[in-house]
Amino acid sequence: MTRRVAVVGGGSSGLACIKCCLDEGLEPVCFESSDDIGGLWRFKENPEPDRASIYHSVIINTSKEMMCFSDFPIPAHFPNFMHNTLIMDYFRMYADHFQLTKHIRFNTKVLLVKQRSDFSHSGQWDVEIEKDGKKEKHIFDAVMICIGHHCHPNLPLHDFPGIETFTGKYFHSRDYKTPEEWRDKKAVVIGIGNSGGDIAVELSRVTKQLYLSTRRGAWILNRVGDNGVPLDLLFNRVVNCMETVLPFSVFCGLGESRLNQRFDHGLYNLKPKHRLFSQHPTVNDELPNRILSGTVQVKPNIRRFQGSSVEFDDGSVVEDVDLVVFATGYRFSFPFLASHVVSVSENKASLYKYVFPPELDRPTLAIIGLVQPLGAIMPISEMQARWATRVFKGCVKLPSVAAMQKDIQCKNETMAKRYVTSQRHTIQVDYISYMDEIAKLVGVQPNIPRMLLTDPRLGLNVVFGPCTPYQYRLRGPGKVGWGPSGHPHSVGESGSAHADQAL
């Protein structure tokens, strides 16, 4: 009897889960609360409650070869860094090619995911949904939750004395859409993450003056790397090896030196006290130019609001401020799950490899895409889904509860040691290390020594070239070859793969 799997959410992670379920002979039923696929990447003029939302101009920070699903390359004529509309086009191509949409129930909200009374034996779940005001209950053999971590905006108004007296307008970056309304106005953006940097740059083109407030500064990366190649293509296995071999301070120092050659972060009032790899870096091509032209002024944290004026920690005061944008991140939660199944506190959830709750009697619940990589989430969600579906089938076993809890504790301690204390760093992972970690569990980690012996050209590409998602289709379950036309085709575990054509 085919196992039925509930997939909660039809964004990029949900699509990958449907595909992986089908690959493993499982029967997916995806519940999507809106009327379309795409999740975070689908622009809507008016943000919907409890849903991710982006602004009109968003362009992804990872290049197309590093963000695609491993068995479905992005078309060659697409640009390296894609606007959100092109990302949606790619998702539709993916969904159409693998016929995923017929497994999605749109405009359907998940109200409750609850263990059945015989869960310790069956591993099954009761899933209560609502569509058109009508509630239904369904039984599933497994559940994959793919709602992401950009649903609930973090708006820490209690940290900003006097905000209740502010006479201008303020909102979270989630509610920002376009800059035209703020032409010739004064605006403050709080936060220098990727959204804060992008919005500050965009607003600064029309505002009278833009102030960018940051508590601790940031290291700014450019999308364009050496010789005009996308920067993320340079983070290969050699660089990853250097990170593990060199002392942390030395490795950070090398990176900081390169970034300061582009522009001295100290001169631009951006240099943080923390090291380069102790915070999720900010990717922004234009911010240094906007600061240099004076259209963006970098300021420290805000001390207080008073009417239309904003006072900063350095004592400076800006009068007649019209707009404040809080680019202060997000909180994640799973309101339809009982707290004893997955408890979330201060943006922390105790999950084995960020996927499986360790104390369930049966490993039939997986959280997919709840990570923050320096890189794209799509290949990581796909890898997690490949692992989870193999676990659901019983092809891969999880370790003991004690071993899983030890792994969770080890990761938490390592993270606390390395990263600045912040809610955005509770789910941080290094792309290559984490992909290899999960790929090893699935049986699809590239066998580099063997490759160097049997196919040196391919082996050298895997070592010195970009660590593309295609590397994880070279062997093991789901092995894929690329035909003469450049289109992928499954060749099974015993076939000969030619993924080097796509590396």
User: Tens digit of pLDDT for each residue in 251-307?
Assistant: 999 999 999 999 999 999 999 988 998 888 899 999 999 999 999 999 999 999 999
- Evaluate if residue 487 carries a pLDDT over 60: no
Question: What percent of the chain has pLDDT above 90?
Answer: 80
Q: Are 302 and 190 in contact (CB under 8 A)?
A: yes
Write the CA distances from 471 to 267, 364, 385, 487, 489, integer angstroms.
41, 28, 16, 15, 15
Give the residue with greater pLDDT, 390 vs 417. Answer: 390
Whole-number pLDDT of residue 469: 97
155-328: same fold as 4-151+331-446? yes
Strand partners, 186: 209
Whole-number pLDDT of residue 71: 96
353-360: average pLDDT: 96
Question: pTM of the predicted model, to two decimals?
Answer: 0.92
Please list, in sequence order, all residues whose beta carbon lies within 8 angstroms of the beta carbon of residue 338, skipping any fewer than 6 positions away.
114, 115
4-151+331-446 carries CATH number 3.30.56.10:
no
Whole-number pLDDT of residue 105: 98
Whole-number pLDDT of residue 424: 60
Rg of the chain taking only CA atoms, in angstroms: 23
The fold for domain 155-328 equals FAD/NAD(P)-binding domain (3.50.50)
**Single-letter amino acid code for the residue at 27:** E
- Evaluate if residue 483 carries a pLDDT over 70: no
- Convert 13-22 to b/e letters by CB count within 10 Å (16 or more is b): bbbbbbbbbb
Please list, in sequence order, all residues whose beta carbon lies within 8 angstroms of the beta carbon of residue 247, skipping any fewer than 6 positions away.
none
Distance, CA of 132 to CA of 376 (rounded, Å): 35
Q: Are 473 and 480 in contact (CB under 8 A)?
A: yes
Distance, CA of 231 to CA of 227 (rounded, Å): 10
Distance, CA of 46 to CA of 57 (rounded, Å): 15
**Burial (CB count within 10 angstroms: exposed 0-12, middle 13-18, buried 19+), residue 329:** buried
- Evaluate if residue 485 carries a pLDDT over 70: no
User: Tens digit of pLDDT for each residue in 87-137?
Assistant: 999 999 999 999 999 999 999 999 999 999 999 999 999 999 999 999 999
- Evaluate if residue 494 carries a pLDDT over 70: no
Comparing 35-39, 250-254, 272-276, 318-322, the range with the smallest average pLDDT is: 272-276
Whole-number pLDDT of residue 417: 81
User: Tens digit of pLDDT for each residue in 446-474?
Assistant: 999 999 999 999 999 999 999 999 999 99
316-345: average pLDDT: 92
Whole-number pLDDT of residue 421: 67
Distance, CA of 247 to CA of 230 (rounded, Å): 27
- Mean predicted lDDT score pLDDT of the chain: 91
- Each domain of the chain, given as residue ranges in start order, spans 4-151+331-446, 155-328
